[in-house]
Structure formats: C-alpha cells, structure tokens
Amino acid sequence: MHIFVIIFNLLQLQLFTIADRGTYVPSENIVINCGSSASEVTEYDGRNWTGDASTTKSSQIAEAPGIPVSVPRVPYKTARIFRSQFTYTFNVTPGPKFVRLHFYPASYLGMDVSKAFLSVTAGNFTLLHNLSVPLNTDYFHVAYLMKEFIIHVSGSTLELTFSPSSNATAAFAFVNGIEVVSMPFSLYFRCLNAPLPLVGHYPALYYICNDTAMETLYRLNVGGDQITPKYDTGTMFRTWEEDDPYIFGGDKGIEPFNMSMPISYANGVPPYAAPKDVYRTSRSMETFKAGLINLNFNMTWFFPVDSGFKYLVRLHFCEIYSQITKVNEVVFSIYLNNQTADASFDPISVSGGPGVGVYQDYVVMVSRASEAKQDLWLDLHPNKYSKPLYYNSYLNGVEIFKLSSTDEKNLSALNPSPLDSNLRSGVKASHAIVKNSKKLTFILIVCGTAAVVILVLLCLILCKINMPRRIISWFDRFSIKTNNVKEVNKIPFGAHIPLQEIKAATGNFDEALIIGIGGFGKVYKGSFDGGDTYVAVKRGDSLSEQGALEYKTEIEFLSKLRHHNLVSLLGYCNEDEEMILVYNFMAKYCKFHKLTEKSDLYSLGVVLLEVLSARPAVSQGDVDNNNDEPLMLAEFAKLCFENGNLEQIVDPKIEGEIVKECFEVYLGVAMKCLAERGVERPSTGDVLQNLELAKRLQRNGGVTRERNTQRNSNHALQGNSDLTPGIEFSDLIMPVGR
C-alpha cells in the first residue's frame, strides 16, 4: 500500500464580504489539481487550485488528450493515476466537511478508461465502490463527473483512500481533483435538535447525526439559472443547477422571479442555507388563473436515485409575490414517491410574509425493488380542502442527499448499465411544449377506453361460460389435492409467503390499507422488512364464483415473466383456502403516478407490430433450446430496430408487398408509440395522420414522399404531442398524491 500524505498548513482561503456571502467563513478550503505541477486560479470559483505533481513518485500523473473547450482545464486537464491503494491525508479541524471528487474520462497514458474502476473510503465510510466514470457520464449525459459527499470528521485528520477495484495487472484508477471544504455544524446534521419526518411512516421520525455520511445527488435553483460555486452563499462553493431536465411533462408552469426583492431568512434558517437568488426565482402554476383549473394538474419533478437507500429531501420556498401576505392564500400538498410528505403546506405560515426564505426537510425511503436506479418523484398539488384564496403551488429550490446505511456505513451503489443510459437519452424530450387539441384527444381516449372495456367484459363472459359447473369448492377449481399438498405448490416460481406474515404486513387485512377493489377481490398495501419494502397484496374473495382459474394462470404466467413495464409477482399464499398474490408495490400505475392521455399509446404500438409481424404480443420461449422465458414482441422489435435488422420484424408473407416509404412511416410510428415515457409518445392525432400517410404511400407506390413524407414522419418521430399530463383517470379507493 502506498501512502501519499499531504499536509496543508497554509489553507487557500479567499476573502469575501460577509454581507454578500453569508455569515459563515469555512475553516478549511482545500483544493487540489491532481497531477498538475502548478497552482492556478480558476474563473468559475475564484480559488487557487494547488498542484500535487511534485509530492510523490508512488503513482503516475497524466494529461487528458484533446480536452474539449467546454470542459474546465482545472481540474480536468490533469489526473493522478494509481494501480494500488493510495491515501491522501489532510490536517483539518473537527466537524462536518464537503468532500468533492472530480473525474474526467479520458485515455490517460494510452489506457482504456472503460477498464478503470475506482473505490474510495473516508475513515470508516465507503463513499464509492467499483465506480466507472464513463458509465456514469454516459448515463447523466455530462462530459465530466463531480461527486460531492458530506462527512463528519471527529479527529484532526481526514484520510481519503483510493484504490482500483480489481487486482488484475492492467487495473488502474484515477482522480482529477479533490476539494475539502468545511461547513457549519447544523447545516445538514441536525440530530436530536431537529428530528425529521420519515415520509410514509407517520409518526416515525428520523435523526441525521454525525455517524451518517451523505452524497449530494441534486442541488437545483428551481426556475432560475445555474449558480456557480463562486456565487454560493457562505463560501462553501456549492453549485446550484437548473431544474429543467427533471421536470415531468410539457406543462412546466411559469417561472416568476423578482431579482430586486430584498430577501431575508426565517427564524432558524441561516443566511448560508441557500443564495438569495435561489429565493428570488421560482417555478409555479399560473397563480391568478381563473377558476379551479390548477386543481387538474400537478407540478412534478423526477430524479433518478439508487435503490435501497434513504434520502434527505430539502425543499426551499419563498413567496416572491408581494401581494401574498396572509396565511391560507396559497396552500398546497407535497408528495414524495406518491406518499404524502405534507398534506397542507402554507409557506406564509412558516415564513411570516413575502421575501422570506424557508426550507422544509423530509426523509424518504426508496426500497430495493431492484438493483437498477429508480425515479424519486416530487409532486406539488393545490390543496382544495383548505379553500385558499389562490389554487397554486410553487417551489424555489431542491436539494437531495443519499444517506449512508447505518450498519455498513456505505454510500456506494452499482454503476448504471449501458441500457440505462440509452433509456435515459430521451429525458430532455419532455422540455418541448406542443399545442394540440385536448378535446379531440379526450374523445379518442374515451372511445378507445370503452372499446378495451367491452373486449375485457366479453373475455370474462366467455371464460365464465366455459368454466366447469360440477365443481363444488371454489378453491378446488384450480387446485387438486395430492397428499394434502396443493398442486399449485409444484409451480416453480417465487416464494410461498406464510399467511401469518401477510397478515402482519397488512395489519390483518386492515380495511384502511385497501388501495383498490376489483373483480377478483381487494388489494391491500403492505410492508415487509420493517417498512423498507412495500408490496401490493391481492386477496381473492371467497364469496366470488370466479377467480380460481385466473389465479392459477396468473401465477404460472407471471412467475416466468419479468419486464420493466409489468408489476413483478413476488410470491403467493394459498393457506386456509386463501387465494393471495403479492406484487411489487407500484402506486403510480406502471411508472408515472397515473393513467394519462398517453397510457394507451404503448398498447397501440404493440398492436401495430402485431399487424406487421403476425406475431403475438407475448409468446412462449424457444422450448427446443430449453428457454421457456416469454418473448416480448415490443422488446424484440426495439432490438431489431436498433441493430438495423428491420426485415426480421416483417411477416414473410407480406414482405415483398410493402412499399419502402410506407414501411418506414408505419414502423416509425410504432416505435415512437413504444417510447419509455409517455411524454415521448406521439398524440393520437399524430398517429392517425401518419397512418393515413402510410396508407397513401402504399396505395400510390411512394410517390407522395417528396411532398409530405419527410415532414409528417418527422412530426411523429420527434414526439410532437401534447405533453401536458391532461385528463387523469384513477380507480384507487384512497388516492394519495398523483
């Protein structure tokens, strides 16, 4: 192990006017330009970055070849490369610190940067494990990566230990820059002085003490421009990004601002909590819109986060309309991950008046439903029950921190996969705002929904007619007893869950936990692992004369099927003649809180592919090759589309009959309907228009291509649609957040 000890006795501190930068001046402000032999003052933060090239020979230094102009030269031009464990030691004062690590993926010394995997520890905290910089920059669509951590140092030294995650000969790791900046004791560590609500677990409280480390995931100036480290308050050099990439839907609301408004801070809110410009800008619904229109909409943001961690969410508020001066003029509800964080929040009741900055802290658990990243949702919705003067909601700033696990002291998570990066590539499509006829779309949706309902009812009637009528026991209709063991127990799928555990998870089927009722029975919200894992428990109604056959079929089918657009079956219980299925809890209808005008477009895309390929939407796997996993037509078509194997999608019987131009428009519409996010899918009107174009192209042999094809096909493929969530439908008994 190589130990690299750097003792900074002379700290590089910049002098700023206390009135402009808050009342806090950090005791440490250490910045290292790793791999550099010189000290340089940067424009974007005004600090003198000290080079470390001459301090050791136990590792290598390198320059990034061909660094783009958009990437800051300091600290990303140079890097320190190491092939074994390597430690930086800093002399510091006890207390909480920002630790910022900077990475730029490049072919240093001719090495393949995709082979570099890095682990970092700080004392007994694991900050990073097996980090791949290129996988993360690809996922977030950024050129370079900055990881910010918050840790409490109890002694007089801080040790940061870097190591390659592999022992292979070619393994290496790198770092471009390091910052260590102190912060006020009570900025984020509140401990016993200020316990925080654990959202979804009322009245449970959560304490963030010195034995917790944090990773800053998001820090946003909502409705405003980026605030660079040079202009952060309190000389802590935080970066406040814009919130546009994280807004869900096309209706982004409005961005009111008042840059001349004098800003003060509420009692208990220090002036270094956030820059004044964060409180001078905001995003809100249309405050003075007539009637109750705002009640039909949410303001929604989504943030990709790691599964299996708790998160501190800090929301900043400041009323910038001077005419809003009294309580109950603007009141709204706050939802985190479809759970009520605050049912009735009135900013003026906390701040006391306009121009006064406040913040609210919440802790929310993101269960480990899978190892992949999940979206943490933030929704604001006007509270109609308070009967406020204005039905509005607004937000000025957001900070989201991942909290370390209390037992393992761990903040690390898996790298995003390349597939995750591809799926995320369309996020910014939600920025576009397109005006379409909502009335026409609504009519089409109602007609389509009615048709689907009729088909479902017909299927149920046919199933009812064909069911055996000489069977006495409702449970025996799907199960034959063999040596007192139900036949269903022989099905090779997920866990059999004891009835006692299910009763404990649902409070003995507490009626207050019912989230839905269907033809099969009631659906309860339950929790396992002390509330860390939420499930949906579907309990069959023993008085019903239907459901047993469907129960067995659902077990057999879903036990083999795993797909990101389907709720996962976790287990079952058939004790005491019960018919219970346990699913992963997804209160948002698939992914996005609710059914919207775009919910049926995905299904339409599958139907278009069925017509083109003569394949079923879901088919049995290749039995000859011992692969009985169901095959998803949509996934198969996407793979062929991405690989350019378009001929594999077409039914061979019609392959020679389709005009090329017609095929391109038709397939383009189908693939756009299969977009992951509803905001990326075309409107129903766009689909109809382009299918009519495809029909004309087929009839005329493609002769209309020059005049119309390019314009119309682009119109569909670019997601040109009504991105406003629009009219919503719900069959929840007690919807909480949408």
| 438 annotated among ligand-binding-site residues | no
User: Per DSSP, what are the bridge partners of residue 496?
Assistant: 572
CA–CA separation, 411 vs 402, rounded Å?
7
CA distances from 488 to 71, 392, 524, 559, 574 (A): 60, 52, 23, 12, 8
Segment (H or E) for 314: strand 309-317
CA–CA separation, 113 vs 173, rounded Å?
9
3-state secondary structure 648-672: HCCCCCCHHHCCHHHHHHHHHHHHH
Strands 339-345 and 332-336: antiparallel
Helices (H) and strands (E) in the chain, counts: 14, 38
Candidates 674, 563, 557, 550; CA nearest to 612 is 674
Residue 61 is which amino acid?
I
Tell me whether the omega of the peptide bond preceding residue 203 falls within 30 degrees of 0, making it cis. Answer: yes
Are 376 and 325 contacting, i.e. CB atoms less than 8 angstroms apart?
A: no
Exposure string for 418-454, b = 16+ CB within 10 A, e = fewer: eebbebbeebebbeeebebeeeebeebbeebeeeeee
CA distances from 94 to 26, 80, 184, 675, 678 (A): 12, 28, 11, 51, 49
Are 125 and 151 contacting, i.e. CB atoms less than 8 angstroms apart?
A: yes
Structure tokens at 643: 């690989």
Cα three-residue angle 524-528-533, rounded to 5 degrees: 90
Where does 160-271 have alpha helices with state H?
A: none
Q: Please, what sign has the CA dihedral across residues 346, 352, 357, 359?
A: negative
Q: Phi and psi (nearest 5°) for 301? A: -125, 150
- Residue position matching structure tokens 């990034």: 64
- Residue position matching structure tokens 């409280």: 205
Helix (H, G, I), strand (E, B) or coil at 80: strand
CB-based contacts of 574, cutoff 8 Å, min separation 6: 475, 479, 486, 488, 489, 580
Q: Phi and psi (nearest 5°) for 446? A: -60, -45
Cα three-residue angle 633-635-641, rounded to 5 degrees: 100
Helix (H, G, I), strand (E, B) or coil at 721: coil
Tell me whether the omega of the peptide bond preceding residue 75 falls within 30 degrees of 0, making it cis. Answer: yes
Are 355 and 319 contacting, i.e. CB atoms less than 8 angstroms apart?
A: yes
Region at 695 (left for phi over 0; alpha for psi -120 to 50; beta for the rest) = alpha
CA–CA separation, 610 vs 615, rounded Å?
5
Helix (H, G, I), strand (E, B) or coil at 326: coil
Are 75 and 102 contacting, i.e. CB atoms less than 8 angstroms apart?
A: yes
Are 283 and 253 contacting, i.e. CB atoms less than 8 angstroms apart?
A: yes
Candidates 132, 116, 135; CA nearest to 60 is 116
Residue numbers in the known binding site for ATP are 538
Residue numbers in the known binding site are 538
